[in-house]
Structure 1
Amino acid sequence: MVKVTSIILASGALFHSAVATTYAQFCNDNNCEEGCGGSVSVDNSACLVENGRGRPSQSVKFHDTNFGSVSLIATNNDQCSCQAFCYPHVVKALATSNDCLDLKDPLHNFKSFRFVNVDLAGGCSTDENTCDGSVQ
């Protein structure tokens, strides 16, 4: 009975680590150290709007990184209605390196962001910029 319980507990621990998520915080500097907002799960594809932060985010700090592949899509409006720029596989790339993504231009001027799970939703659009009116 003890052996069965140990196996069940070990299986539960492995399953829990397999579904672990990654969290992101948008920060006001390029080094993920100043003015970081609240943590959001990258598994949630909801629109993250920059209104009220006082200034555009300069970087994104990731923590509890897993090995899933998530892309960050930026939009030049506050509705996440298109893709003005996409950083592909941002979480997968950071899982083996730094946990801070410097949002180099042109991202500093964008007003909203959303994370997209590459495995579930396909990631970045094949069109570099879908905000030009041709694709919405």
Structure 2
Amino acid sequence: TDFLQSTRVLVNTLPLTDETRDILNHQHLSQLMPDAVVINVGRGEHLVEEDLIKAIEDGHVARASLDVFRQEPLPADHPFWQRPEITITPHISARTLREATLEQITGKIQAHYNGQPISGIVDPSRGY
């Protein structure tokens, strides 16, 4: 937690696992430098939503930019819509680039066909 105490901008890109679920909670947010900025582009279940509001009200967090939520789309009556400190984006932080994606997929198919190692294989036991 030493790094949290010297962090003014926290960007979450973690995969969602049992260990990372609810990691953006009041205990961690309250350790950030005063008037910190929180950006969550990982998964909605990383953030304890009520704890973010409390951290804003307590002055630990000045701004937040959120691209993912526990419930998507974010309901119209959700408290985040009423908070000027929170910027909401519609789950668009990682745009898929068509040509690069096709090149990556065809490269992996060719590597598999030729018996070569393939990178980026999902390990279900790790959760990603």
The structure with the largest helix share of the pair is 2
Q: Which gives a bigger RCO, structure 1 or 2 (Cα 8 Å, sep 6+)?
A: 1
TM over 0.5, shorter chain:
no
Structure with greater proportional strand content: 1
TM-score band by shorter chain is: under 0.3
User: Taking structure 1 as the reference length, what is the TM-score of the superposition?
Assistant: 0.26
TM-score relative to the length of structure 2: 0.27
